[in-house]
Amino acid sequence: MRYLITFSYDGSNFFGYQKQLHKRTIQNEIEKALFLINGNKNVSIHASGRTDALVHALNQKAHFDLNKELPCLNIKNALNSLLPKDIYIKNVEQVNNNFHARFDVKYKEYKYIINTGLYNPIERNYVYQYNKNLDIDNMKKGIELLIGTHNFKSFCKTNNEQLDYIRTIIKANIEIEDDKIILTFKGNGFLRYMIRNMVGTLIKIGENKINYKEINNILKKENRIYAFKTANAEGLYLNDVFYKE
């Protein structure tokens, strides 16, 4: 039977989502718990995508197969009793055996949080402590230029060699809550470090070191060297995953 889980995690003490030998990862922890639930038989989980070290998730999704049918609530409760406290299973549902948590994704939504106020040691693992003022109006003009279908090669990891760099962003906006800037990106897919590289460039715009229209030139160059410093990982959250009908 195939099941889909919705789960959140605090990425602070993980080496990212993806399973790695001798390193603490989210995938490792969940698969260890499922091994016990499945009668000491290995279970592979397939997530909507991976997140890097220190990145958090509010509504990550993954599917897995069990060799027996179990009530969804029982699976949820069993997982939460076995998992460490920095991972929490929010929902379990049974899905069609053809469903795939990664390949059936329609959109993903990420949020990035920047603190422009006083340094906050309590939030240092969850909000990027920039701690200086930024020109929000210019940043809002810049982020709007990222909406649409573009080649985002300039905003992906330097050595990320792949055939397709075309992605569509359907929503990109900035909201202000007290001293915090919250950037939201919703699209059909994101390249590795893409959001953090876009945020790093938007910060340069907020510092008034480049004009917001430079976003268009950076996209056209299709080369990572023209974008700016990668923003810190701790401010990034996978907010939600949306599936095709």
pLDDT of residue 243: 97
Q: Which residue has the tokens 């509504």?
A: 59
Same domain, 187 and 123: yes
> Does position 164 have pLDDT exceeding 80, yes or no?
yes
Same domain, 158 and 120: yes
Contact 198, 155 (CB under 8 A): yes
Q: Which residue has the tokens 């992605």?
A: 167
pLDDT of residue 157: 80
Same domain, 125 and 86: no
**Catalytic annotation, pick one of 52, 104, 135, 179:** 52
Secondary structure E strands in the chain = 2-9, 46-47, 56-65, 87-95, 105-115, 128-129, 148-151, 166-177, 180-187, 236-243
Question: To the nearest whole percent, how much of the chain has pLDDT over 70?
Answer: 98
Residue 49: domain span: 2-95
> Does position 4 have pLDDT exceeding 80, yes or no?
yes
* Mean pLDDT confidence for 89-115: 98
* Mean pLDDT confidence for 55-63: 98
Tell me whether residue 67 is in a domain: yes
**Please, which residues have CB within 8 angstroms of residue 144's CB and are 6 or more apart in sequence?**
172
Number of domains in the chain: 2
Tell me whether residue 100 is in a domain: no
pLDDT of residue 245: 78
* Mean pLDDT confidence for 223-242: 96
* Mean pLDDT confidence for 51-70: 96
The predicted-structure confidence for 190-212, as pLDDT tens digits, reads as follows 999 999 999 999 999 999 999 99
Question: In this structure, what CATH number is given to the domain that contains residue 200?
Answer: 3.30.70.660
The predicted-structure confidence for 104-160, as pLDDT tens digits, reads as follows 999 999 999 999 999 999 999 999 999 999 999 999 999 999 999 999 999 998 666
HSE, side-chain direction, 13 A CA sphere, residue 23: 14
Mean pLDDT of the chain: 96
Same domain, 91 and 43: yes
> Does the active-site annotation cover 135?
no
Question: In this structure, what CATH number is given to the domain that contains residue 24?
Answer: 3.30.70.580
